Chain A
């Protein structure tokens, strides 16, 4: 029995909009074990984004409990939540959210800047190591505008890895990329999951992307519709290899 990373029980989240109360989440329960690759799917309005915000410790549930790596986030202050995000979660966003005119290395270093225990030398080493994991060590001095979309997302993944989080939380991480680059990102995710043992929670609305994960949770109207293991998990690497070799503009350094 592997360690439980996420433990969610009867999670509810209400928003008061004027006189109306919107029930974005109406009681969601599930656990995620260490080393799992979970995709959360759902159409818009299904409560996907609300769940993601809570999972990312950016928001707190109205009712119910959420334990991240054994910590109940309901009891934490704003600053403690920030600290938790810093240490336990690696965010990957749809629009990369890299700092403009800032080198890849400095972008990756960013989370460590908010961790007092990391020295400047250690910060640099860890950022370089993280860039190496996404195979962009040779692009460390490039600014986002000098990188392709896929490369930018890989820098963002390196940034998510650098603080050695218990979970990588990806929000539509392939949403802005063409399918070939998306597969490359998914291949990288699978690699991090199977070879490095990273726990990944991937929010998407593309079934195609979900098929690369080991488990899919389907949300609908703030409730879990289905929660099932992926029997025939696809390998992104194989899909990538099967794609016709075209003169792709995104010939990336491997």
Chain B
């Protein structure tokens, strides 16, 4: 029997029991729909975490002094003084996978404007720092290489500091504040970034030339950190290896000595967070997959009913020349038709629900093609798998008994 005829017969059989067919499809519709919605929500949140991290600079690499043994006592890395201008020069000269680099020294202290004061930290950096950290200015300009050379007493101010030192809405631009004892002129205001993923206020900061912080505040020649940008996300690993080699060389470490610095990337952070949300996607998919299986069992159930109530029809078809295979195909076609129609409606339903979720709950969603294709394939396979046994039962009926069945 040709496929077209099989399709027609199956379609007619379903048409005769429209409501029943629809209710059976409902299981598949909900299954496929929920797979699509769940995966879309999972993917969406994964992407939004990724975007958030990108905003922090996903290709950012941080170098800091490593902890080390000093007479048997482990000393915290941050108190170590290993990163110097020599390292910066070596990195600038030797690293191929790095686009920008900035040294950083941080000092904690009190920012003072007249009678108002606020405890904050000052980061002494080079102008590239803004690019590396993806910081932008709401107003004013960044300091220049000239400011670095002259250790100029200029700074960029974060929103939190602005709010605390200029509570009455005065324009801080051009104003002079003090950090500790040193007066600084405000030449730029940073765009607010809010809190980062770890609850740190990223706007509670003053940024000044590193020379100024080194010479006028801390009186040191060392750096707290080195920040660098890899060419792109993909080359981050290469950049890390490069930095490690150059710094080991610059610090004259022999092959047996451990690194006296650590190199960190945001990749690790992204990987951790992505894997968490990846787990979420897997869980949601499993739940949705279970509902697909339940839908499949619904198909199986209804196909058994269908075979039983049409035993006489099967007997008749066999007596006028239908082979077991023809009967098998007929019922299989019916099951597949239910599951595929349910699948198509489910895909549409999934799309609409996803849009609704985005619209009403403002959740980020991404409909992934693979989830659509996968759930569609799964439901077709479900139809064949769960439709096969009832269909096989039908095909093995004895025509004599089937004909006499009441």
- Please report A residues at the B interface, Cβ cutoff 8 Å: 53, 56, 58-59, 78-79, 82-83, 85-87, 91, 93, 97, 99, 101-102, 110-111, 113-116, 159, 163
3 closest Cβ contacts across the A-B interface? A86-B321, A114-B321, A82-B323
Q: List 27 A-B contacts (CB under 8 A).
A: A53-B400, A56-B319, A58-B318, A58-B319, A59-B400, A78-B323, A79-B324, A79-B325, A82-B318, A82-B323, A83-B321, A83-B323, A85-B318, A86-B320, A86-B322, A87-B321, A97-B403, A102-B12, A110-B317, A113-B1, A114-B1, A114-B317, A114-B322, A114-B323, A115-B321, A116-B1, A116-B2
CA of A86 to CA of B316, assembled, Å: 11
Main secondary structure of the interface of B (DSSP, over half): helix
CA of A113 to CA of B326, assembled, Å: 10
CB–CB B320/A85 < 8 A:
yes
Partner of B322, one of A82, A91, A102: A82
Contacts of B324 in A (CB 8 A): 78-79, 82
CB–CB A58/B1 < 8 A:
no
Contacts of B1 in A (CB 8 A): 113-114, 116
Contacts of A58 in B (CB 8 A): 318-319, 399-400, 403
A123's closest neighbor in chain B, by CB? B5
B237 at the interface (CB under 8 A from A): no
Minimum CB–CB distance for A81 against chain B, Å:
9
Contacts of A163 in B (CB 8 A): 320-321
B2's closest neighbor in chain A, by CB? A116
CA of A87 to CA of B1, assembled, Å: 15
Minimum CB–CB distance for A34 against chain B, Å:
21
B252 at the interface (CB under 8 A from A): no
CA of A41 to CA of B318, assembled, Å: 25
Minimum CB–CB distance for B231 against chain A, Å:
65
Minimum CB–CB distance for A137 against chain B, Å:
21
CA of A102 to CA of B12, assembled, Å: 9
Q: When A99-B313, A101-B16, A102-B12 are in contact, do A93 and B403 touch as well, CB less than 8 Å?
A: yes
Minimum CB–CB distance for B137 against chain A, Å:
76
Partner of A114, one of B313, B326, B400, B403: B326
Q: A79-B324, A91-B319, A93-B403 are in contact. List 8 more A-B contacts (CB 8 A).
A: A82-B318, A91-B320, A99-B313, A99-B316, A102-B12, A113-B1, A114-B323, A159-B320
Contacts of B323 in A (CB 8 A): 78-79, 82-83, 114
Contacts of B16 in A (CB 8 A): 101
Contacts of A159 in B (CB 8 A): 320
B312 at the interface (CB under 8 A from A): yes
Minimum CB–CB distance for B165 against chain A, Å:
84
Contacts of B315 in A (CB 8 A): 97
Contacts of A99 in B (CB 8 A): 313, 316
Minimum CB–CB distance for B307 against chain A, Å:
15
A99's closest neighbor in chain B, by CB? B313
CA of A115 to CA of B319, assembled, Å: 13
A96's closest neighbor in chain B, by CB? B316
CA of A40 to CA of B320, assembled, Å: 21
CA of A87 to CA of B321, assembled, Å: 8
B310's closest neighbor in chain A, by CB? A99
Q: Which of B1-28 contact A (CB under 8 A)?
A: 1-2, 5, 9, 12, 16
A97's closest neighbor in chain B, by CB? B316
CB–CB A97/B325 < 8 A:
no
A160's closest neighbor in chain B, by CB? B320
CA of A113 to CA of B329, assembled, Å: 13
CA of A229 to CA of B229, assembled, Å: 108
Mask, B294-320, CB within 8 Å of A = 1, is: 000000000000000000110111111
B395's closest neighbor in chain A, by CB? A78
Q: Which of B52-88 contact A (CB under 8 A)?
A: none
CA of A86 to CA of B12, assembled, Å: 23
CA of A93 to CA of B399, assembled, Å: 13
Minimum CB–CB distance for A68 against chain B, Å:
14
CA of A83 to CA of B322, assembled, Å: 8
CA of A86 to CA of B399, assembled, Å: 13
CB–CB A111/B321 < 8 A:
yes
CA of A99 to CA of B312, assembled, Å: 9
CA of A83 to CA of B319, assembled, Å: 10
A162's closest neighbor in chain B, by CB? B320
B312's closest neighbor in chain A, by CB? A97
Q: When A58-B400, A59-B400 are in contact, do A82 and B12 touch as well, CB less than 8 Å?
A: no
The residue among B9, B320, B322 with the most chain A CB atoms within 10 A of its own CB is B320
Contacts of B2 in A (CB 8 A): 116
Q: When A58-B399, A99-B313, A101-B16 are in contact, do A111 and B320 touch as well, CB less than 8 Å?
A: yes
CB–CB A114/B319 < 8 A:
no
Minimum CB–CB distance for A44 against chain B, Å:
14
CB–CB A110/B320 < 8 A:
yes
A109's closest neighbor in chain B, by CB? B5
Contacts of A78 in B (CB 8 A): 323-324
Minimum CB–CB distance for A220 against chain B, Å:
22
CA of A101 to CA of B13, assembled, Å: 10
Partner of B321, one of A82, A93, A101, A102: A82
Contacts of A91 in B (CB 8 A): 319-320
